[in-house]
Structure 1
């Protein structure tokens, strides 16, 4: 099967607690007469996280923030093409329910909240059941409620050789500016409520479009700057500790040499054994980012999951 023939899609297992029990949202499709997990195909120019959030909104009327990635389904469609679907978990807040815009339509006839046990027998397709089992494993571990720390390396900057001023004032290149713009809609899929950045111009310029789109002020912190790291004045531990304790979604924008220390401190703050999967999260190209998912209810349960995204521009 050639990669270019595959159809890519994304979705989420939407969940909430009803009467003290975990429930997930299933959709009853109008034309197909089946029961599935909400998902849909990637539109041109979209990232997979962006697709997942958009499709959930279109099919269910619910605005969600993505949680832990749950895996990938691969199967053949009736026309013989492979379909590749990426899934995340997505908690549905009371506010999202109150603001739901869902009405039965030509694509989705009904929505139904059911227990995980009942969903296993309701779902029409085996790949959906496999994704549900990935979510059920999180439920069994007690780590469904999570929050993300998004570790972002600044966009591509102009070269040191071509820049005559101080390094902290070195700006983004044209490509870096494009990367900063391309990041916005993808990172918004996790609904960051805080943005912390090195004061270097190349970092601040990278997060400025996201700040404007989300209405979240950028907090500058020299303790995660490359200058502080070079001179031995960095204090990554305090910056990371505050973000872990807050339990709120945040973007941390810093530099290539500093990112390994940031990841290490997240691991230490959450009692996560250090290993290659942790250190790999810091090996980012300019404009790339890693999403580190942490438990919102048990900070000592370790890093739940890490997903890494390459720059899109």
Structure 2
């Protein structure tokens, strides 16, 4: 059986002198200029691998944003008999701290404006990734919209359904979400007032150093009497800035994401036959243009991550 090689990377960016710059790395082993990337470690998600590889190759700590694209190409197999497929999943990632130091993998780093970076890149695959990055502006506001983790079957719980807790599987999902959502730089944590929802993101709130705040309009019984109010509430959270984590329910998330996408003309490739997915323990990375004085936040991209556990790459817009 052919074993696929999985890797992840990022277009690492910063703003310097009012201009956007992206990081290119020179790898002496290949004598090429590349975007930072590398193979997944065992048990690692693509998001975790992207941040780790950026740190190892560039010395910079990165905060992830939207998912960009996947590159796929053959590479020589370990035994030298033919080739095996390799896939590399890329994110946009802002450099927030750090300093480059030459290392075994990378001997030089250059910060270049995107047009200059495109000319300097060695491989056409990297040029395609960079162009995907350039399709939208930098500095977008991220909202992390989370479906609560598994909580067992409703008909097997005799108590108040609002108090139905996470199952053991749900606790594992919540722990995985805690690791992965942190990579997107969350600033505050909100949740539908259900124990299973609050438990799903409680660890993230601990890491941020805050409490989980209840959002009744984003629970099923709070949303459906007037969905317009629920959509407006999410837009208000996006307009407040930072990177909010919002945990909601499967009866809300598909309609909420669809309403935002329809409102702002964003396609959702993750949808199948018109159905927007929302598995337990999954999350959406919603990228909004920051509000101006004339209008509120505008949805620019919606990326679906079906699991925070090691899984295939997200579908994205």
Q: TM-score normalised to the size of structure 1?
A: 0.86
- Cα offsets for 1:163-183 (capped at 9, x unmatched): 111110111111111111111
Q: How does 1:281-292 map to 2 (within 5 A)?
A: 282-292=276-286
Label 1:282 to 1:14 Cα distance change in 2 as closer, same or farther (>3 A). Answer: same
23-32 or 235-244: bigger deviation: 235-244
Partner of 2:39: 41
Q: 1:19 & 1:312 partners in 2: Cα distance?
A: 36
Partner of 1:131: 129
Q: CA deviation at 1:110?
A: 1.3
Identify which of 146, 151, 161 aligns with 1:157: 151
Q: 1:129 & 1:276 partners in 2: Cα distance?
A: 24
Q: CA deviation at 1:282?
A: 4.5
Q: How does 1:2-81 map to 2 (within 5 A)?
A: 5-79=3-77, 80-81=83-84
Identify which of 273, 286, 296 aligns with 2:265: 273
Label 1:275 to 1:87 Cα distance change in 2 as closer, same or farther (>3 A). Answer: closer
Q: 1:242 & 1:224 partners in 2: Cα distance?
A: 12
Q: 1:238 & 1:73 partners in 2: Cα distance?
A: 36
After TM superposition, what 4+ stretches of structure 1 lie above 6 angstroms from structure 2? 278-281
Identify which of 163, 169, 177 aligns with 2:163: 169
Q: 1:44 & 1:201 partners in 2: Cα distance?
A: 32
Partner of 1:148: 142
CA RMSD of superposed structures (Å): 2.5
Q: 1:168 & 1:223 partners in 2: Cα distance?
A: 15
Partner of 1:87: 90
Q: CA deviation at 1:263?
A: 2.2
Label 1:297 to 1:144 Cα distance change in 2 as closer, same or farther (>3 A). Answer: farther
Q: 1:76 & 1:54 partners in 2: Cα distance?
A: 23
- Give yes or no for contact 2:266–2:299 (8 Å, CA) kept in 1: no
Q: Structure 2: 5+ residue runs without aligned partners?
A: 78-82, 310-317
Q: 1:15 & 1:233 partners in 2: Cα distance?
A: 40
Q: 1:257 & 1:117 partners in 2: Cα distance?
A: 44
Q: CA deviation at 1:161?
A: 1.3
- Give yes or no for contact 2:57–2:103 (8 Å, CA) kept in 1: no
* Counterpart secondary structure, 1:172: coil
Q: CA deviation at 1:88?
A: 1.3
- Higher helix fraction: Structure 1 or Structure 2? 1
Identify which of 286, 307, 313 aligns with 1:311: 307
